[in-house]
Amino acid sequence: MAGWVYAYRLEHRMKSIRCLLLVCFVLHLTLAAPVRAGDPASAPTSDAPRVRVLVAYHSLRGNTRQMAEAVAEGVAKVDGAVATVKRVEDCTKEDLQAADGLILGCPTYFANIPGAMKVVIDDWNWKLKVDFTDKVGGAFTTGGGQTGGKEHTAISLLLFLLNNRMVVAGPLYEDEEGDDKWGELGSSAMTGPLDPGVGNSELDAARRLGERIARVARRMKSPR
């Protein structure tokens, strides 16, 4: 009789152990499953923090949109950084709040920010109550003329960002030897009629702007 009881208990214990092993095996498979391409978690190639940069632009004829896309290419060069490109009027409160970096771009209208864009971005603070404190910002612009006010437009965008408690930066330049180094206040393109369209060097400046803002935003997020 005692032997029967002992055998029954042993069998019961073995069943419990088998169950436990099965649970462990399933857990192992679940946790070790490879991350599918396209999953947000698979984007960064190192342990760098994920940095979100919103490139928000206004454009009627497409020149400034071209610059915005190049800015986003620059952002993508930075490990762990992702860019979203949107027209200012399509940016939601959630887009703005989620962004670690915000890069604004617009054409020059009468040497300044186009009124239609100003109406939209003024509401981000005034109506949407977005808190921009310590987000990192940058600016880019296009203009038809060589001295038609592009730089003034870029400065006006930077003032908007500064006034909204952001930290601003511009693209970096250096010569081939790396001896001569400069910083710029933003990126711009001359679009005509004397120099029509957006040129390669202007797109390159836009890429450098995106890369710089993503780097600074990453540093702000995780200072070393």
Ligand X SMILES: Cc1cc2nc3c(=O)[nH]c(=O)nc-3n(C[C@H](O)[C@H](O)[C@H](O)COP(=O)(O)O)c2cc1C
Is residue 62 a contact point for ligand X (CB under 6 A)? yes
Range in contact with ligand X (rule: CB under 6 A) among 21-29, 144-152, 158-166, 213-221? 144-152
Pair 58, 116: CB distance under 8 Å: yes
Residue nearest to ligand X (CB): 148
Say if residues 139 and 169 touch (Cβ distance below 8 Å).
no
Residue 58 CB coordination number (10 Å):
22
Least Å from the CB of residue 88 to ligand X: 12
Residues 179-207: b if buried by 16+ CB within 10 A, e if exposed: eeeeebbbbbbbbeeeeeebeeebbebbb
Cα-based angle 210, 214, 172 (whole degrees, multiple of 5): 55
Question: Which one of 30-38, 45-53, 83-91, 108-116 is the stretch in contact with ligand X (CB under 6 A)?
Answer: 108-116
The full length of the chain comes to: 224
The reply to whether 80 sits near ligand X by the rule CB under 6 A is no
Binding mask 163-202 for ligand X (x = CB under 6 A): ----------------------------x-----------
| CA atoms within a 13 Å half-sphere pointing along the CA-CB vector of 94 | 0
**Locus of tokens 């009027």:** 89
Contact predicate 221/200, CB 8 Å: no
- The answer to the question of residue 63 lying near ligand X (CB under 6 A) is yes
Q: Which is nearer to ligand X, 70 or 217 (CB)?
A: 70
Please choose, out of 90-98, 140-148, 174-182, 213-221, the segment that lies near ligand X by the rule CB under 6 A.
140-148
Residue with tokens 């990453």: 218
Whichever of 61 and 77 has its CB closer to ligand X, that residue is 61
* 57 versus 124: smaller Cβ distance to ligand X: 57
Asked whether position 26 contacts ligand X by CB under 6 A, the answer is no
Tell which one of 91, 96, 104, 109 touches ligand X (CB under 6 A).
109
Please report whether residue 156 would count as binding ligand X according to CB under 6 A: no
In the block, residue with structure tokens 């986003």: 72
Interface positions with ligand X (CB under 6 A): 59-64, 107-111, 142-145, 148-150, 191
